[in-house]
Copies of this chain bind each other. A is one copy, B any other.
């Protein structure tokens, strides 16, 4: 591959903590082809001693997984750990002056109460880092040293709703949002659960955590309200379906007020005019349209009509929903072109 370099002539060094899971592996795949950074070390607790290519032979990377023991030598750290495990590691890395992108839910919620309620885990009151969804807060990310990468469902749903809540020049009031979203099974991680075996999930679908999924407060917070005291009626039904990659969200919205003719579509297109990875589409989107890409496709599937709007939003859960968005955030934090290494 071509010589990697930054403006100062030297690529930045990157390490991934939790590199053996599906999100971690996607990070490695993307970092290997990224022109401005170089992988330093891959850490993985349960797989220590194995090589990356033992688990993911399709990616050309023979590095050995090491056990992370507190060293802080790279310029940038990605953490793709099970929830709870980043809580102690991130502050150490931040103190050591490292740039940190955490893919877990540990630092996403400002409210420790909501965190405790949805993650069933206590966290310190200051365990919060800027919520790094570039389409909503590019500037904050650019100036941050450490950020929280959004959750997969949350990315799909927030991007599908944001123009209605955060967009300008419309006077519509959202009354309720009904959200159902089907995730591919890679969303459950690299796992050995019987109920996620091929024989159980082929030709199957299953809802879970209806009204209780931990991305609920994350979505509400990003839309400017809260799960404890929401400004609109919200219900989220997550499901898993028989595919590996992708999240397909149907957002059914009731509102008061009037959109001008075509203006919901315009509202969405204007809102995302500077967002290279959000595509507001004139026809129905599908999971295969976004699989293996960092795109979020949004289509206004019904309405606005009689106070009702149905938005369909599709992402690749491992890319725009995890590793791809993390690289996008890294690009912004490093002052690089937002799309670098992602097209």
Q: Which A residues are within 8 Å of any B CB, using their own CB?
A: 1-2, 22, 33, 35, 57-58, 60, 176, 178, 180, 182, 184-186, 188, 190-194, 196-208, 210-212, 233, 235, 237, 239, 241-246, 248, 250, 252, 254, 281, 284-293, 295, 297, 301-303, 305, 307-308, 310, 312, 314, 343
Contact = CB atoms under 8 A, between A and B. Distances in A.
A158 to B, nearest CB: 19
Contact of A248 (B205, B293, B305): B205
A310 B210 contact: yes
A205 B202 CA distance: 14
Contact of A58 (B35, B208, B292, B312): B292
A250 B180 contact: yes
B206 A197 contact: no
A38 to B, nearest CB: 15
6 contacts: A176-B254, A202-B244, A206-B286, A207-B248, A211-B310, A241-B243
A57 to B, nearest CB: 4
Nearest to A211: B302
Given A308-B235, A343-B60, A197 B192 contact: yes
Contacts of A176: 176, 254
A203 B206 contact: no
Contact of A203 (B180, B188, B244): B244
Contact of A243 (B205, B212, B246): B205
A312 B192 contact: no
A118 to B, nearest CB: 15
Contacts of A206: 284, 286-287
B199 A197 contact: no
A83 B302 CA distance: 25
A245 B198 contact: no
Contacts of A60: 343
A243 to B, nearest CB: 4
A198 B57 contact: no
Nearest to A247: B205
A287 B289 CA distance: 22
A297 B60 CA distance: 12
Nearest to A279: B57
A201 B198 contact: yes
B191 A288 contact: no
A22 B191 contact: no
A179 B287 CA distance: 20
Nearest to A245: B203
A342 to B, nearest CB: 10
Contact of A233 (B180, B202, B254): B254
A202 B243 contact: yes
A148 to B, nearest CB: 25
Contacts of A308: 211, 233, 235
Nearest to A252: B178
Given A196-B198, A204-B246, A204-B291, 19 more contacts: A58-B290, A58-B291, A176-B176, A178-B178, A182-B239, A185-B199, A192-B197, A198-B200, A199-B244, A204-B286, A204-B288, A205-B246, A206-B287, A208-B284, A210-B301, A210-B310, A211-B303, A237-B310, A239-B250
